[in-house]
């Protein structure tokens, strides 16, 4: 190379060096900010170890189990969450050590799949309330939450009660079994409670998903602890948050019954700051709990280890690069830009400092990647000069001691940052994940850069085109709940797991059932412990069958599809045909293969069974046998059901008799049962007398 090339290359390297110095100064200032948080945390930890823990013992988990349970409402806003919300509700109801709670799930009319799932959960669990947002979605999460709040107030009015606290969760959350007990313990004293949020553990090779392990392990072990201590305020994480009813009503009064800001993508962050302005007490709580876990060693073998964790919310965060940066773009846009526009910079110097920490990410995420590019450019330029034999003299950094000191300090602070992250990730997930947090830092920087770039673009669209940002949600997954289905075939275990009845009530019902032939569900219903609707839901769940919607007109309109004899024999109702021609039938329980084969007959398609309540089956059978005009106005039991319930006949014997019975040949069904020896005349007369009494009561 000849001519001006050496000079151009030298100037280019000089520009890179000066730019690099400016970037290094910016990174130093940001790193010193992070270092201050580190020093504050460890100084506080040392002080508490020496002075606090000697005088005050850690919270005894046993204390959480004491005392009366305040009613707690859990808000779950949902938009296109039909893939996970059932598992979330199922796991919550089955595992939380609490009984006095309601889950208010909000859905939109143009998201019927999610609405149908919530309806099914509401039928199954008495804890679930479906809140229908009256307009199409997606609007924003804050809008859905505002409607849920109004539904909670309406529920209080209708049931003449008051919720002690209102918790906030998402449809992918795995709620800790002791969470509501902890809220119950703190609510009389605190208006805002935030629990740690952590990522469920991922394989070490899932680098994108692993960045969430790293971030939340450090943020919710150190940064939020410092923030509460330094400022006395805690930003809501959007999940694992509980508000006192006093806080909610005060904010409703202050905002015209719109407690959540519908102009914000981070309504939770905005919400907590407005609560602070109203003087509400806030706390970030880390209550340690011990458990045994199996973790892989460096050799790949698993071993059992004792782990101290915390009462926290866990969930799976995105594992794809695009989903991750889109999610974080919403966080940056909501916290940095909308927070700036909505809240400004007011308050004490401490709050100003924390606001600056929150908002600097929109710039630091860009600068970090810019520093990588500068380093690569410098390496490439010097390599090019070496390759072409060009002597490039640049002693800018070498000739300025302060520049060298900036670089040395940045390197030292980087080592501290890696050490801090390794410690907190290792403490939460083990040494293998702690080591992987170091290379994942580069992946994290790349995700954050794309997130910041997208957030800046969103800001431009809002400022220059006045475009509002809709609910740009992340697709979610939920951990397997197969362990909840291990006892799926046992009705007693199922109704207790669903908290439809208590363990004591089940034990009493089993004792009453012993020695009789009565169905356990009927015993629970007779004692008033289980509703008929819940029993139908259990039977549908046990046998993987859908719940049906009973309509007598539909049954009568399709009575030609099924003979009266066949309907009575198998206790089923005709409900039409599918588009493929399969017979649709209603039943009060799962049908045997023999019954299904007989109902199918010569039809090429297997019948499709839906579960109804038993009283609906009885009503339908009476309508088929007597005609709609003569059908009873209320549900009264059939003779066969009475014989079984009173212990005079077994259901299998009755089913066998029904298969043999023909009204034309055998006359009255009761006489046929006596002739066949299925029941005695005395027992038949007793059942008929009881049936007559019930009919007089009904009519």
Tens digits of residue pLDDT in 342-361: 777 878 899 899 989 988 98
Q: Residues 126, 170: one domain?
A: yes
Question: Which is nearest to 155 in space by CA: 126, 118, 186?
Answer: 126
Q: Which two tokens stand for residue 360?
A: 């600097």
Cβ count within 10 A of residue 396: 14
- Residue 151 to residue 332: CA distance in whole angstroms: 31
Shared domain check, 124 and 85: yes
Neighbours of 372 (CB within 10 A): 14
Domain assignment present for residue 47? The answer is yes
Torsion 328-352-407-40 (CA) sign: negative
Of 230, 212, 231, nearest to 220 by C-alpha is 212
CA 36, CA 617: separation in Å to the nearest integer? 70
What is the predicted pLDDT for the residue at 398? 61
399 is a domain residue? yes
Residues 370 and 357: their CA atoms lie apart, in Å, by 20
Most confident of 13-22, 147-156, 282-291, 673-682: 147-156
pLDDT digits (tens, 9 = 90+) for 624-669: 877 543 344 444 566 777 777 777 777 667 767 776 776 667 777 7
What pLDDT sits at residue 677?
A: 80
Answer yes or no: do 81 and 152 share one domain. yes
Range among 25-29, 533-537, 626-630 with highest mean pLDDT value: 25-29
Same domain as 241, residue 378: no
DSSP E strand stretches across 572-635:
572-577, 583-587, 608-611
Tokens of 64: 């959480």
pLDDT number for residue 147: 92
What pLDDT, in 10s, does the model give residues 386-416? 766 666 555 666 667 777 788 889 899 999 9
Of 315, 336, 360, which marks where a domain is finished? 360
In a domain, 574, yes or no: no
User: Secondary structure of 73-105 in the HEC alphabet?
Assistant: EEEEECCCCCCCHHHHHHHHHHHCCCCCEEEEE
What mean pLDDT comes out for the span 262-281?
Answer: 78
> Which residues, in sequence order, are bridge partners of residue 128?
103
Q: Count of CB atoms within 10 A of residue 530's CB?
A: 23
Q: List Cβ neighbours of 668 (8 Å cut-off, separation of 6 or more).
A: none
Of 261 and 160, the structure prediction assigns the larger pLDDT to: 160
Phi and psi (nearest 5°) for 158?
A: -70, -30
Pick 604 or 72 by higher pLDDT.
Answer: 72
Share of the chain above pLDDT 70, in %: 85
44-98 pLDDT, tens digit each? 999 888 887 766 666 667 778 777 899 999 999 999 888 889 889 988 988 888 8
Mean model confidence pLDDT for the chain:
82
- Which domain CATH number covers 345? 3.90.550.10
Which range among 39-43, 152-156, 504-508, 642-646 shows the weakest confidence by mean pLDDT?
A: 642-646
C-alpha span between 429 and 310 (Å, rounded): 12
d(CA 539, CA 532) in angstroms, rounded, equals: 11
- Residue 488 in any domain: the answer is no
Give the C-alpha separation, 231 to 251, whole Å: 21
34, 87: one domain: no
Please tell me whether residues 35 and 88 are part of one structural domain: no
Report whether pLDDT(318) > 60: yes
Q: Which of 77, 264, 236, 106 is nearest to 172 (CA)?
A: 77
CB 330 within 8 A of CB 265: yes
CA–centroid distance for 105 within its chain: 10
Q: Is residue 341 part of a domain?
A: yes
Mark which of 360, 382, 408 sits at the end of a domain. 360
* Contact of 232 with 219, CB cutoff 8 Å: no
Residue 277 shares a structural domain with residue 339: yes
Q: Cα–Cα–Cα angle for 596, 597, 603, nearest 5°? A: 105
76 and 44 share one domain: no
Please name the residues in contact with 661: beta carbons below 8 A apart, sequence gap of 6 or more.
565, 568, 569, 669, 672
Q: Classify 608 as helix, strand or coil.
A: strand
In sequence order, the β-bridge partners of residue 309 are 289
pLDDT of 228 reads 92
Domain that holds residue 663: 637-699
174 shares a domain with 256: yes
pLDDT, tens digit (0-9, with 9 covering 90-100), for 161-213: 999 999 999 998 999 988 999 999 999 889 999 999 999 888 889 999 999 99
Residues 44 and 81 occupy one common structural domain: no
Q: Is residue 512 part of a domain?
A: no
**Quick check: is 546 in a domain?**
no
Q: Per the domain annotation, does 233 fall within a domain? A: yes
Domain boundary among 313, 341, 360: 360
Cβ neighbors of 579 (< 8 A, separation 6 or more) are none
Which of 292, 349, 333, 338 minimizes the C-alpha distance to 451?
Answer: 333
Q: Burial letters for 111-127: b for 16+ Cβ neighbours within 10 Å, e otherwise?
A: beebbebbbbbbbbbeb
Q: What is the pLDDT of residue 443?
A: 94
DSSP 165: E
Distance from C-alpha of 675 to C-alpha of 233, rounded to nearest angstrom: 81
Tell whether 185 and 311 lie within a shared domain. Answer: yes
Same domain, 303 and 351: yes
Query: What is the total count of domains within the chain?
Result: 3
Residues 131-149 have pLDDT tens digits of 999 999 888 888 899 999 9
């Amino acid at each position: 190379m000849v001519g001006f090339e050496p000079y151009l290359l030298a100037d280019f390297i000089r520009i890179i060096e000066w730019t690099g110095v400016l970037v290094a100064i910016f990174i130093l200032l940001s790193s010193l900010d992070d270092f201050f948080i580190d020093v504050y945390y460890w100084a506080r930890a040392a002080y508490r170890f020496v002075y606090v823990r000697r005088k005050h013992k850690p919270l005894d988990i046993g204390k959480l189990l004491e005392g009366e349970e305040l009613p707690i409402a859990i808000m779950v806003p949902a938009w296109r969450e039909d893939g996970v919300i059932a598992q979330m509700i199922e796991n919550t109801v089955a595992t939380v050590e609490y009984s006095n709670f309601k889950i208010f799930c909000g859905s939109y009319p143009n998201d019927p799949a999610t609405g149908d799932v919530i309806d099914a959960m509401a039928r199954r669990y008495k804890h679930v309330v479906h809140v229908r947002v009256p307009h199409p979605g997606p609007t924003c999460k804050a809008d859905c939450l505002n409607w849920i709040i109004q539904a909670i107030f309406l529920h209080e009015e209708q049931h003449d009660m008051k919720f002690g606290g209102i918790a906030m969760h998402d449809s992918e959350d795995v709620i800790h079994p002791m969470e509501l007990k902890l809220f119950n313990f703190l609510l009389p004293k605190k208006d805002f409670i935030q629990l740690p949020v952590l990522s469920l553990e991922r394989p070490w090779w899932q680098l994108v998903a692993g960045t969430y392990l790293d971030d939340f392990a450090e943020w919710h072990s150190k940064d939020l602890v410092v923030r509460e201590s330094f400022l006395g305020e805690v930003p809501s994480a959007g999940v694992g948050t509980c508000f006192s009813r006093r806080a909610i009503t005060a904010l409703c009064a202050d905002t015209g019954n719109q407690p959540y800001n519908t102009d914000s993508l981070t309504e939770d962050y905005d919400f907590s700051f407005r609560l602070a302005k109203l003087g509400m007490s806030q706390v970030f709580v880390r209550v340690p709990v011990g458990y045994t876990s199996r973790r892989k060693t460096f050799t790949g073998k698993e071993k059992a280890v004792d782990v101290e964790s915390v009462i926290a919310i866990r969930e799976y965060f995105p594992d794809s690069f695009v989903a991750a940066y889109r999610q974080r773009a919403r966080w940056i846009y909501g916290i940095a830009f909308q927070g700036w526009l909505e809240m400004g910079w007011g308050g004490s110097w401490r709050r100003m400092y924390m606001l600056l920490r929150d908002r600097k990410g929109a710039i630091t995420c860009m600068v970090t990647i810019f520093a990588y590019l500068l380093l690569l450019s410098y390496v490439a330029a010097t390599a090019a000069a070496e390759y072409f034999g060009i002597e490039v003299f640049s002693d800018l950094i070498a000739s300025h001691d302060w520049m060298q000191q900036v670089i040395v300090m940045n390197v030292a602070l980087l080592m501290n940052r890696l050490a801090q992250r390794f410690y907190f990730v290792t403490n939460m997930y083990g040494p293998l994940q702690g080591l992987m947090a170091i290379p994942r830092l580069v992946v994290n920087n790349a995700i954050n850069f794309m997130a910041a770039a997208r957030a800046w673009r969103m800001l431009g669209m809002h400022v220059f085109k006045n475009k509002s940002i809709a609910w740009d949600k992340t697709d979610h997954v939920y951990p397997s709940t197969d362990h909840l289905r291990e006892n799926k075939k046992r009705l007693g275990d199922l109704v207790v797991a669903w908290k439809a009845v208590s363990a004591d009530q089940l034990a009493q019902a089993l004792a009453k059932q012993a020695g009789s032939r009565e169905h356990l569900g009927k015993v629970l219903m007779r004692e008033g412990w289980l509703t008929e609707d819940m029993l139908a839901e259990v039977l549908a769940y046990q046998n993987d069958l859908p719940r049906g919607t009973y309509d007598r007109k539909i049954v009568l309109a399709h009575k030609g599809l099924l003979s009266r004899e066949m309907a009575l024999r198998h206790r089923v109702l005709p409900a039409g045909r599918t588009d493929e021609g399969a017979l649709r039938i209603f039943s009060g329980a799962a049908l045997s293969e023999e019954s299904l084969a007989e109902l199918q007959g010569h039809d090429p398609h297997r019948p499709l069974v839906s579960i109804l309540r038993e009283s609906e089956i009885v009503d339908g059978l009476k309508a088929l046998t007597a005609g709609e005009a003569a059908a009873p106005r209320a549900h009264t039991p059939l003779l066969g059901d009475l014989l079984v319930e009173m212990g005079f006949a077994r259901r299998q014997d009755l089913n066998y008799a029904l298969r043999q019975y023909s009204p034309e040949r055998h006359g009255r069904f009761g006489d046929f049962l006596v002739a066949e020896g299925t029941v005695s005349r005395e027992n038949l007369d007793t059942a008929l007398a009881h049936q007559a009494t019930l009919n007089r009561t009904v009519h």
